[in-house]
Amino acid sequence: GQPLAQRYRVIACDMLGFGDSAKPLSHDYSLLEQADLQQALLEHLNVEQPMHVLAHDYGDSVAQELLARHYETRADIASCVFLNGGLFPETHRPVLMQKLLLSPFGWMIGRAFSRDALVKSFQQIFGPQTRPTESELDDFWSLVDSNHGQRIMHKLISYIPQRRVQRERWVSAMQRGEVPLRVIDGEVDPVSGAHMVARYRQLIPAPDTVLLPEIGHYPQIEAPAQVLKHYLEFRDRLVSPPRKVACS
């Protein structure tokens, strides 16, 4: 985030149920509420200008909701870039852990989730050359472990069925084409890699997509310099769009 913060005002918060934010036990975690909270934060910070959204994974769904609200004049989005995430329910390939959490025994599975289980699932979703270091794994684990996040994992996973409900509204917002969009995607991610981008290119008019070869589910951690480069290119082009050359 440092290089971004040198150029832009960056606002990022841990969403409800994540990182150091509160993780209430008897709460129904909803993507719509997460979008409400992001908007409340912007209001609290007196941000009035249109915002540029950079999202990943669960955040992609919140960004899709904000984009839909933009077209309903309930949000003001200047641009949106999606990193790896399940933009379309039909191409999302859940890992075993997600399937278990969605089952009736999800609450038990979540409580038994350990650093070792995290390491195992991360081995499946990172690129072969860009596996996380032990200290990165410690950081990831502390984000889960903070405020006993294991106890609500089965609650957070409800975003998967929620996405199915919103699919038509979200996809049609993405197809409108007035808000510039780009996808920067780690290609070898088994959850939302190249197959998700192929679907994006089928559904979205004039699709702007960047595939990062050999990179998995966490491009911002596996290949931060590449993500930054492709993000800044996108932002620079918004300021000075490429001149259309007339063919004579």
Domains of the chain with CATH codes: 2-239 (3.40.50.1820)
The share of the chain scoring above pLDDT 70, in percent, equals 97
Q: How confident is the model at residue 75 (pLDDT cuts 50, 70, 90)?
A: very high
| pLDDT tens sequence across 113-131 | 999 999 999 999 999 999 9
Residue 112: CB atoms within 10 A of its CB come to 11
Looking at residue 101, its pLDDT comes to 97
Q: pLDDT tens-digit profile of 190-234?
A: 999 999 999 999 999 999 999 999 999 999 999 999 999 999 999
pLDDT tens digits, one per residue of 145-174:
999 999 999 999 999 999 999 999 999 999
Q: Does the pTM of the predicted model rise above 0.75?
A: yes
The owner of tokens 């989730």 is 113
Query: How many C-beta atoms surround the C-beta of residue 239 within 10 A?
Result: 6
Task: With CA atoms as reference, report the closest residue to 40 among 66, 9, 58, 10.
Answer: 66
Q: Predicted confidence band at 247 (pLDDT cuts at 50, 70, 90)? A: low
**Above 80 in pLDDT, residue 241?**
no
CA 73, CA 71: separation in Å to the nearest integer? 5
| Identity at 235, one-letter amino acid code | R
Q: Are strands 51-55 and 181-186 parallel, antiparallel or unpaired?
A: unpaired
Which pLDDT belongs to residue 240?
82
At residue 1, does pLDDT exceed 70? no
